[in-house]
Structure 1
């Protein structure tokens, strides 16, 4: 009998799902990303690294955006536009990174290697973008 046919089965399925998620979460906490042992662990660690890199990039972007808004407010009207230019640049970078990494991984997309290459490419490009955003912020320091 499938889940959710009756209220009792719905409760059982919901509880089972929570237990599975809790077990998966607990198992993932024990993964040593310095030495992942199998494909699942490598995938988990790469996804974790990408999320962390994206979070650092987002934080750098927010800081830089706040700074260019501050600078923009002090400029005469004909020189304003830095925040919009930064927003457009970030959108273009996001599109570029996705396409560049797809092109890089494309020959291997039939297997797990393709996703690994794509993810690793995104990690490297995201780290580089974070460095660039941070350097720009430093350039705009008082």
Structure 2
């Protein structure tokens, strides 16, 4: 319980809380948990950067579509993207919480959750990138 309260504070810095920790070869559970959380944090930063690019591309598609839209009243590209992203975030968090339940209450649970979130976040970043590439 205390570790779950302290972990967010430790993640504010890219430096490990214990200088000997090495994410290339983590040796103890706390180190593994910290490294997995850091991996997710990096994946999330990349997702947020890609989100900005993809959102801008979808807004540009909306602007160029207006002249052809006629009486089309469906949601636009950006509105659909935003709806999908919100749903995806709910899915990712719930799915990864579920994966963590394999070690529910144990010291391995944070590792499972963070690893899952990092994996799904990298996949979503690729999906967002593909939307931009398809728009070009």
Q: TM-score, normalised by structure 1?
A: 0.75
Q: Secondary structure at the match of 1:112?
A: coil
Map 1:117-128 onto structure 2 (within 5 A): 117-128=112-123
Aligned twin of 1:36: 26
| Structure 2: tracts of 5 or more residues without a match | 1-9
Q: CA deviation at 1:40?
A: 2.0
CA shift at 1:33, angstroms? 0.9
- Deviation per CA, 1:89-142, whole angstroms, max 9, x where unpaired? 10000000011111222131120112211111111100100111111111111x
Corresponding residue number in structure 2 for 1:54: 44
Return the index of the structure with the highest Cα Rg. 1
Residues in 2 aligned to 1:29 and 1:88: alpha-carbon distance in whole angstroms:
42
Check 1:59–1:28 CA distance in 2 against 1; reply closer, same or farther (3 A cut). Answer: farther
If asked which structure has higher relative contact order (CA below 8 Å, sep 6+), I would say: 2
Pair 1:68 & 2:63 matched? no
In terms of fraction of residues, the more helix-rich structure is: 1
Partner of 1:90: 85
**Superposed CA RMSD:** 2.0
1:28: Cα distance to partner?
A: 4.7
Q: How does 1:100-139 map to 2 (within 5 A)?
A: 100-139=95-134
> Partners in 2 of 1:84 and 1:97 — Cα distance?
20
Higher mean displacement: 75-84 or 89-98: 75-84
